[in-house]
Amino acid sequence: MKPIRIATRKSLLALWQSEHVAEQLRKQHPGIEVTLVPLSTRGDEILDRSLAEIGGKGLFLKELERAILDGEADIAVHSLKDVPAESPKAFELAAFLPRADWHDWWITRDGHTPESLPTGSRVGTASLRRQSQLLASCPHLEVVPVRGNVQTRLAKLDAGEVDGLILAAAGLQRLEIRRQHVLPLEPPGFLPSAGQGVIVVQCRAEDREVARLLRPLNCEETVVTMAAERAVVAELGGDCRMPLAAFARLEADQLSLDARLASPDGTEVLDASVAGDKGDAESLGRQAARILLEKGGMRLISHF
C-alpha cells in the first residue's frame, strides 16, 4: 500500500488536524504508513500585519502545495476556511471531514458580554468578518488586530492587551483548551466563515491512488453544505479581505443557506437567505451571492 506523507503547518492546531487525518487513514487502511512533513508558511511567519495586507489566507497553502508538486508530500491538510474558493487545477480537494463546531466563541477574562463591555473596550480579531458583525451590534467597542496561534491570542487577553477575543470554537476544542468565560456567538446576529470547522485534505488532481485512499474519509453532508457556502465566496470573488459570511444547513434533502456581506465598520449589513434541494447546492450559493449584489453588494466589494 502506498505510504502517505502529509504536508502540514507547524502550529499545534495544524499538527493536531494532520495527525487526526493520519489516524483516520490508519483506521480505514490498516498497515498504511503515514508520516507528517511539517513546513513553515508565510502566513505563519508574518504576524505584524493582517492577512489582507500580505496577500490573504492563501499564504497558508502555498508552501504546502509546493511540497506536493515537488514530490516531498502526497497530501496537505487544511482548515477549509483558509482554502480559496477557486482551487488550482493541479490540485483536488479529495476529502471533506465531518464538520466540527462551526461557532465563533466570545472569550473574556471576567464574563462580560459584548454588549456589557464598557465603551472603548478593545476586542482582538484579525478577521474582517468577525469585526464587521461585532461592530454592527456593538459599535461602542474598538477592534484591534490580533494574529498568531490560539495560545498567542489567549496570552494577549490574559495580559490585558485586549478585553475580549473572538476565536473559532473548533480550534479550541481540538486543542482541549478550556476557558471559564466563553459565549458562543449565534445566528442570526453572527454567521461563521464559509467552511469554518471543516478539515479538508488536498492532493494532486492526477494522483488517483491517493484520492482512492482518501475517499473513506469524505463526509457527503459536508461536501453538500460546503459546495453552497464556497459558491457564495466564489461568485463574489471573496477572500479574507472581504467581510463575508456563509452558513448552510442540511435537513433530509433540503438545504438552507444564509449569507452576509458587510462593511468593515458594521454600519452596512446585507443579508441573503435561500433554500432548495441539496442537489442544487452550488447554484443556491451563487443565487445567495447574486441577492447580495442586488442589495448593493458591489458597492461594498469595490472597497476591497
Catalytic residues: 82
Question: From the centroid of its chain, how far is CA 284?
Answer: 20
Whole-number Å distance between alpha carbons of 244 and 132: 9
75-79, strands of its sheet edge to edge: 34-39, 4-9, 75-79, 199-204, 91-96
Q: Which of 94, 26, 91, 97 is nearest to 65 (CA)?
A: 91
Dihedral sign computed on CA atoms, order 289, 295, 298, 304: negative
Question: Which cell numbers in the block locate residue 196?
Answer: 469554518
8 A C-beta contact, residue 51 and residue 147: yes
8 A C-beta contact, residue 245 and residue 259: yes
Alpha helices in the chain (DSSP H): 12-28, 42-45, 51-54, 62-69, 128-137, 150-158, 169-174, 208-214, 220-236, 281-292, 298-301
Which phi and psi angles does 155 have, rounded to 5°? -65, -35
